[in-house]
Structure 1
């Protein structure tokens, strides 16, 4: 069994795998890390490896305290990945984006792939059919858009996510919801249209905390999988073992 852990900007996701099958998923806050992993390992005593991909501010020591019970692995830029990294600044490419690109390459061979991760930020990662990672885009996620409108204006309120009643907002509150939510959807559809116009044999993978909401509203056909990063983390680790 393998325990995979994705340390994001706002929360931590984890999953226990046996082979390619997910036995259970977990979500918790950064300050709950050690307690949460302890509970997971008590439940799944046969876990042999703990595999971590982190873009958040969590000390490695929080994972290393479990070294006496299983092997701890931190994926880094120095590991082997199944794609050719053509990013102009490869060392600045987030390890989470590399893992997503790896999963897309391994799961969908010989296709042009666009991975959209809708979380704190929206990231777009493109891997062509020859397994070249070419880059993508980064923009604010839903929560950041709401916060930006409140934090950088004098009078706009801080709102929680809400599906707008109409695309024409007839109040300040409804106008904010329409601008944030519809703008979010239109942006993603616009990016997809651009990629589709340039590339054939094309697949779109949508993941992240807002994947389920988006899957119902995007006009483009996609594969929505909120657990894609954790699955990709398990597959990338296996690829690393097979190619070391």
Structure 2
């Protein structure tokens, strides 16, 4: 069994795998890390490996504390991946984005793939049908857009996510919801249209915390999987061990 952990900017996601089968998923706060890992390992005592991808601020020592119980692995830029990284600044490419690109490459061979991860930030990662990682885009996620309107204006309130009643907001609150949520959806559809116009044999993978919400609203056909990063982490670890 393998315990995979994705340390994001906001929360931590984890999953236990038996080969390619997910046995259980977990979501928790960063200050709960060690306590939650202990509980997971108590429940799944046959776990042999702990595999970590981190973009958040968690010290490695928090994971290395479990070295006596299982093998601890951290993915880095030096690892072997199933794609050619053609990013102009490859060392600055986030490990989470590399893992997503790896999962897309392994799970959807010989296709042009666009991976959209809608979390704290929304990232777009494109891997062509020849397994070249070409790049993508980064923009603020839903929560950051709400916070920016509040933090950088004098009077706009800080709102939490709410589906807008209409695209024409008839109050300040409804105008904010319309601008943030509809703008978010229009942005993603616009990017997808641009890629689709330039590439055939094309698949879109949508993941992240807002994937379920977006899947119902995007006009483009997509493959939605909110746990795609954890699955990609497991697949990439197995790929690495085969090399």
Confirm or deny a common fold (TM above 0.5). yes
The two structures, once aligned, show a CA RMSD in angstroms of 0.2
Q: Distance in 2 between matches of 1:202 and 1:171?
A: 40
Following superposition, the deviation at residue 72 of structure 1 comes to: 0.1
Following superposition, the deviation at residue 18 of structure 1 comes to: 0.1
SS in structure 2 of the partner of residue 192 of structure 1: helix
Structure 1 position 48 matched with structure 2 position 48:
yes
**TM-score, with length taken from structure 1:** 0.99
CA deviations 1:69-102 (Å, max 9, x no partner) are: 0000000000000000000000000000000000
SS in structure 1 of the partner of residue 35 of structure 2: helix
Q: Distance in 2 between matches of 1:77 and 1:31?
A: 26
CA deviations 1:166-186 (Å, max 9, x no partner) are: 000000000000000000000
**Matches for 1:1-244 after TM superposition, within 5 Å:** 1-243=1-243
Which stretches of structure 1, 4 residues or more, deviate above 2 A after TM superposition?
none
SS in structure 1 of the partner of residue 139 of structure 2: strand
SS in structure 2 of the partner of residue 113 of structure 1: strand
**TM-score, with length taken from structure 2:** 1.00
SS in structure 2 of the partner of residue 209 of structure 1: coil
Q: Distance in 1 between matches of 2:162 and 2:201?
A: 35
Q: Distance in 2 between matches of 1:92 and 1:30?
A: 24
Task: Provide structure 1 residue ranges, at least 5 long, that are not aligned to the other structure.
Answer: none
SS in structure 2 of the partner of residue 72 of structure 1: strand
Following superposition, the deviation at residue 4 of structure 1 comes to: 0.1
CA deviations 1:111-143 (Å, max 9, x no partner) are: 000000000000000000000000000000000
